[in-house]
Amino acid sequence: MKNEWKADDNMQKVRIGMTKEEVISIMGDTYKVMEAKQTADGYQEVIGYVDLQNGIYRLRLSNGKVAEWDYILPPAHRHSENTSTSN
C-alpha cells in the first residue's frame, strides 16, 4: 500500500519527541524537506508527507526530534463564482 494511503492512519502513531528515524519507520521515506536551517537553538528541519487529498502533514523537527506537527489543507477546488441565486 502506498504511503499516501496510510498517511492519515500513520500520523496517529507519531508523537512529540520522536526522532526523525522513528517517524520515518512509521511514515516511510517519501517525505519532502520543506525547510532546513541552523539556529542558535540547533538544527531545525521541516519535513512533509502528502496524503491522498494532497494535504500535507508538516513536521517540525528540532535537533532531530519532533517538536510539533500540523496539517496543511489542500487547495480548495474552485467552485463557480456565481453560486448565489437571486429572485
Q: Report which of residues 61 and 4 the model is more confident about.
A: 61
Confidence of residue 77 (pLDDT cuts 50, 70, 90): very low
- Residue 45 sits in a domain whose CATH number is 3.30.1450.10
Nine cell digits for residue 21: 528515524
Q: Answer yes or no: is pLDDT of 13 > 70.
A: yes
Residue 57 pairs with which residues in a beta bridge? 49, 71
pTM: 0.79
What range defines the domain where residue 29 resides? 3-72
Domain count for the chain, please give it. Answer: 1
Integer Cα distance of 23 and 44 in angstroms: 15
* Whether the Cβ atoms of residue 84 and residue 72 lie closer than 8 Å to each other: no
| Residue 41 pLDDT exceeds 70 | yes
| 17 lies in some domain | yes
Tell me the longest C-alpha to C-alpha distance in the chain.
62
For all residues of the chain together, what is the average pLDDT?
Answer: 87
